[in-house]
Chains A and B, each alone.
Chain A
Amino acid sequence: MDQGDAKLIRMANQIATFMASKPEAEGVAGLAGHINDFWDPRMRGRLLDHLARGGAGLMPMVIAAAPLIRPPAEAP
């Protein structure tokens, strides 16, 4: 895990920490929605790669949100 991954893991966990005060399903959806709305595709791609490798260091809520995180799309 390099420094770039470490930063994204930290950021994802921070969002999860905020969303943890909501009911679980709402929190998971809120977490994925936040990442989809505010993270550039290369950041999401990197997070998804890390999740595909098992997601070490990520809070369970981030792992639960993985299917809802949109894979990066090409620019039109």
Chain B
Amino acid sequence: MKDFILPSDRDMGTPASRSTTMVTLEIDGFAVTVPEGTSILRAAAEIGISVPKLCATDSLEAFGSCRLCLVEIEGRAGTPASCTTPVAAGLKVHTQTAKLKQLRRGVMELYISDHPLDCLTCAANGDCELQDMAGAVGLREVRYDSPQVNEMATHFRARNTSGEPNPDWLPKDQSNPYFTYDPAKCIVCNRCVRACEEVQGTFALTIDGRGWDSRVSTGAADFLSSDCVSCGACVQACPTATLTENTVIQIGAPERSVLTTCAYCGVGCQFKAEMRGEELVRMVPWKQGKANRGHSCVKGRFAWGYATHKDRILKPMIREAITDPWQEVSWAEALDFAATRLRSIQERHGRRSIGVITSSRCTNEETYLVQKLARAVFRNNNTDTCARVCHSPTGYGLGQTYGTSAGTQDFDSVDHCDVALVIGANPAAAHPVFASRLKRRLRQGAKLIVIDPRRTETVEGAHYRAVHHLALTPGTNVAVVSALAHVIVTEGLHDEGFIRNRCDWNEFLDYAEFIADPRHSPEAVESVTGVPAAEIRAAARLYATGGNAAIYYGLGVTEHSQGSTTVIAIANLAMLTGNIGRPGVGVNPLRGQNNVQGSCDMGSFPHELPGYRHVKHPEVRAIFEAAWGVPIDHEPGLRIPNMLDAAVEGTFRGLYCQGEDILQSDPDTHHVAAGLAAMDCVIVHDLFLNETANYAHVFLPGSSFLEKDGTFTNAERRINRVRRVMAPKAGFADWEVTQMLANAMGAGWGYTHPSQIMAEIAATTPSFAGVTYDLLDRLGSVQWPCNAAAPEGTPLMHVDGFVRGKGRFIRTDYVATDEKTGPRYPLLLTTGRILSQYNVGAQTRRTDNVAWHPEDVLEIHPHDAEVRGIRDGDWVRLASRSGETTLRANLTDRVAPGVVYTTFHHPETQANVITTDYSDWATNCPEYKVTAVQVSPSNGPTDWQKDYAAQAAQARRILPAAE
């Protein structure tokens, strides 16, 4: 960290121009050459001249309201605002003249006449652009004063000297848990309003009133009850203390910044962790971050308080049996206990009787070590990761068709897309920063097609609406995507040139014959999918002929019995239309967790070593056998569901589970609990006593992303640095704990820094061959493959040819899932995520994000509710063949009749008690998205919920350490 210097974060005033035509002009006697369309304000900044400004900032389009950035141009009349005046060849500009000085001072004098002079006690002290500009223009006196009689012409005095209230004064709005709006400090520069519009795309803010009455307004009673999604863009844009992070108000100004990467979703936003000592003051999205381009969401920006939450377990603990209370012990004792148990299981039940689950929340380096622990120390391939339950079908489907398991684009690509096809994903809630970038493009005129059973937040938003929303019946993805392909092929909309050039032509002919069959036509599948045939036809035509068409998809694609088939169908669609290999197109899986991509890359799956190379290949094993000095098992290991089956069966008895809560996140909770309860040694390595820990024998305290060095790889294959900003609260980073466990089992590892682990990854994995921490420090981030052929990484994949050579078309027959509705379970349940919570909620539930989502609710259509006698807010019982739970009903037409929806963020609800053990045919990815259920009125928690709560309380007892 101390060696790393942040690249310049200087505010250039207006956004960069994308023009390639260059223009030369003269500013204050210096020649400057900039792209056409650049503002004079930015051109001046390019040569180091900072023209005073307030309403301009380079994340927003120029606005021209503050009248501070005035300049004089030879031969032109007046004093134009330099932010709204574009450069022109040969201009001679002067930024500082007697006239300009006088005008600017007058402007500042007026601003300050309605601004409190409490700078010393103001939260923005030292970080206030108004203060800076007062200094820059040499403001020395304020001659204007408000009349002291009845009228008080200020917005900042609450009362006059007689104690009468000032009607123009508004109290602070502290409704949002993370920031405060203080109207008294507002200069009405519009930056917050514009940030909400241009950057976030929510349009929650406006300026109410005119002239003197102009106020920033949410249009609601307060921020919390408004449309505001708490992304923080307005707070970041505010040049004064009007919008300020509560942590800055409480702690004070930060003294240093460390660049790091968010540990929430797969967008992988880069942040500046702004610190005072070891205390994190605030997280500010980094302008140069290539995934987020200076934007953030409520989770990454604000919801990091879990890292210091009182629930964190900071001492290792063990217990003989899961019915015993926990016993706090030393690290040495805990590791010895774990190692002895694991070895003893292997002696009694064989080498393949234990395994690991790597974490998609931990770093690449940590994940690499955990799979290495399985392969080199346990000497088997029993390693899996939570990608099993989210994107394993992506690995299979894209691997089969294109030759590698990864998204094809970078996020910048969305700026060039003309048609976005979003399938089974709700980026507005689950990948909000990407959603903001998509929405910006949609407002510029790109078209949107959404395939989703629900009318999600993504379908419709401020100033855009999906042209087609194909609200299909859950479980019919393959039928719908195949019908799109049918239309493209039978109407001759495919790109024959691309297919002949880039794909296997014979396989295409086979596929074309298959897909042209009338049984795949939109008309034929309409009764199954519930989507009007004309809508599918229109959507197919738009995707095929609307220009650059990009597919973005999520877990609504993968988490089905036919998850892998849908991924293949998606890959086919992009090949058919030639939408691959250039900006604005491609196939883009939106990854759920921060390091799902990385955990897959790092060999977490039981059948492949790092870099997606199957363990059956002797030449691949030889690389790692040479590096690790042990023979590697050539048989594939167990996947998570297989581990649990084998545990119930008695052949799998020990598990090291890092940063993953399988009891809450995996389907069919009863079965997961039975599997865990059957094991002799469950080691949970986590920040909290999670639900899985109720069945654990060893608890090893984990470290948050703030406490360690490493890398995360986001959905665009971008390897981002994670940097330690504070010491690990339990004494060790997670990679150190894994190493200690390995060494307790005799491994003899000696890593002293994660960079050495990355060096080993680079040495063994061709797509990472060029990755070093030095390179990441220099470039900020890099997208794999990064090697001799692509020394600075690969933003776009499959540009000149597919990774596997020729793209491969594969037949995709629709097969209905066995999970069918019937008289007992007549409704289909589908599950998802909401904006303010994340995954099982272990992190977000321990932050103020609960202000937005204190409990999981069941969305049900009013028709389905009415026939069951259910009213909005009622407790309802939700039951499937797997189990039942209770939660509150939310009546909404976002879901179609026959479909109900809930989230899985709260252990009290445990949506996964309901989900079944059905899974994807190729990868065993669970079918979370389709469960036949019944809903009925209820009085309160089910017996299961009560039993679960009692067991959890019992399992979480901790005895104090023996003195």
When the two chains form the complex, which single residue of A11, A21, A42 contacts B651, counting CB atoms closer than 8 Å?
Answer: A42
- A12-71 contacts to B, CB under 8 A, are 14-15, 17-18, 20-22, 34, 36-43
Whether A39 lies near B352 (C-beta < 8 A) is no
Determine the chain B residues whose CB is within 8 A of the CB of A41 once the complex forms.
Answer: 352, 635
Taking CB atoms, residues of chain A closer than 8 Å to B614 are 37
Q: Once the chains bind, are A21 and B811 in contact (CB under 8 Å)?
A: yes
Interface flag for B917 (CB, 8 Å): yes
Please report which residues of chain B, range 633-647, place their CB below 8 angstroms from some CB of chain A when the two chains form the complex.
633-639, 642, 645-646
Assembled-state Cα–Cα distance A4/B678 (Å): 15
Closest residue of chain A to B637 (Cβ to Cβ) is A40
Q: A1 at interface (Cβ–Cβ under 8 A)? A: no
In the bound complex, residues from chain A placing their C-beta under 8 Å from that of B923 are: 38
State whether B633 touches A75 (Cβ < 8 A): yes
Separation of A11 and B616 alpha carbons in the complex (Å): 22
A75 to B811 CA separation, bound complex (whole angstroms)? 36
B514→A4 contact, CB < 8 A: no
B residues 67-112 near A (Cβ < 8 Å) are none
Of the four ranges (under 10, 10 to 19, 20 to 34, 35 or more), the interface on chain A belongs to 20 to 34
Question: Are B634 and A76 in contact (CB-based, < 8 A)?
Answer: yes
In the complex, are the beta carbons of B638 and A40 less than 8 A apart? yes
Q: Which of chain A's residues have a CB closer than 8 A to the CB of B565?
A: 18
Instruction: Please report the C-alpha to C-alpha distance between residue A67 and residue B801 in the assembled complex, in whole angstroms.
Output: 37
Q: Is the interface of A mostly helix, strand, loop or mixed?
A: helix
Asked if B815 is an interface residue, CB under 8 A from chain A, the answer is: yes
Closest Cβ of chain A to B479, distance in Å, is 14
Summed over the interface, the residue pairs from A and B with CB atoms below 8 Å come to a total of 72
Nearest-neighbour CB distance to chain A for B635, whole angstroms, equals 5
Select one of A7, A14, A73 contacting B921, CB under 8 A: A14
Given that A18-B565, A21-B514, A22-B811 are known contacts, is A75 also in contact with B921, CB under 8 Å in the complex? no
- B921 touching A76, Cβ below 8 Å: no
Known: A7-B917, A15-B921. A37 touches B811 (CB 8 A): no
Shortest beta-carbon distance, A28 to chain B, in Å? 15
How many B residues face the partner with a CB closer than 8 A? 40
Report whether A42 and B561 are in contact in the complex, using a CB–CB cutoff of 8 Å: no
Q: Could you tell me the distance in whole angstroms from the C-beta of B619 to the nearest C-beta in chain A?
A: 16
**Assembled-state Cα–Cα distance A17/B565 (Å):** 11
* Min CB–CB distance B123 → chain A (angstroms): 56
Q: Is B845 an interface residue, CB under 8 A from the partner?
A: no
Q: In the complex, which of the residues B380, B636, B648, B651 has the most CB atoms of chain A within 10 Å of its own CB atom?
A: B636
Q: Are B645 and A7 in contact (CB under 8 A)?
A: yes
Question: How far, in whole Å, are A37 and B813 apart by their CA atoms in the complex?
Answer: 22
Q: Which of A10, A17, A22, A40 has the most CB of B within 10 A?
A: A40
Given A38-B607, A41-B352, A43-B642, the answer on whether A11 and B924 have CB atoms closer than 8 Å is yes
Hey, which chain A residues are within 8 Å of B924, CB to CB? 11
Interface residue B723 (Cβ < 8 Å from any Cβ of A) = no
C-alpha gap A72/B917 in the complex (Å): 25
Q: Which residues of B contact A11 (CB under 8 A)?
A: 919, 921, 924
Q: Distance (Å) between the CB of A13 and the closest chain B CB?
A: 9
Question: Could you mark each residue 549-571 of chain B with 1 if its beta carbon is under 8 Å from any beta carbon of chain A, else 0?
Answer: 00000000000010011000000
| B631 surroundings in chain A (CB, below 8 A) | 76
Assess whether A72 is in contact with B813, with CB atoms less than 8 Å apart.
no
List the A side residues contacting B382 at CB < 8 Å: 40
* Chain B residues closer than 8 Å to A18, beta-carbon distance: 564-565, 813, 815, 921-922
A56 to chain B, nearest CB (A): 18
Query: Known contacts being A7-B645, A38-B607, is A75 close to B638, with CB within 8 Å?
Result: no
Instruction: Please measure, in the bound complex, the distance between the C-alpha atom of A41 and the C-alpha atom of B606, giving whole angstroms.
Output: 12
B893 lies within 8 A of chain A by Cβ: no
- B residues with a Cβ closer than 8 A to A are 351-352, 379-382, 514, 561, 564-565, 606-607, 614, 616, 631-639, 642, 645-646, 648-649, 651, 811-813, 815, 818, 917, 919, 921-924
Sample of 28 A–B contacts (CB below 8 Å) = A4-B645, A4-B648, A4-B649, A7-B917, A10-B818, A14-B921, A15-B921, A18-B564, A18-B815, A18-B922, A21-B514, A21-B811, A21-B813, A38-B607, A38-B636, A38-B922, A39-B642, A40-B352, A40-B381, A40-B637, A40-B638, A40-B639, A41-B635, A42-B352, A73-B634, A73-B635, A75-B379, A76-B632
4 interchain residue pairs of minimum CB distance: A14-B921, A21-B811, A76-B631, A21-B813
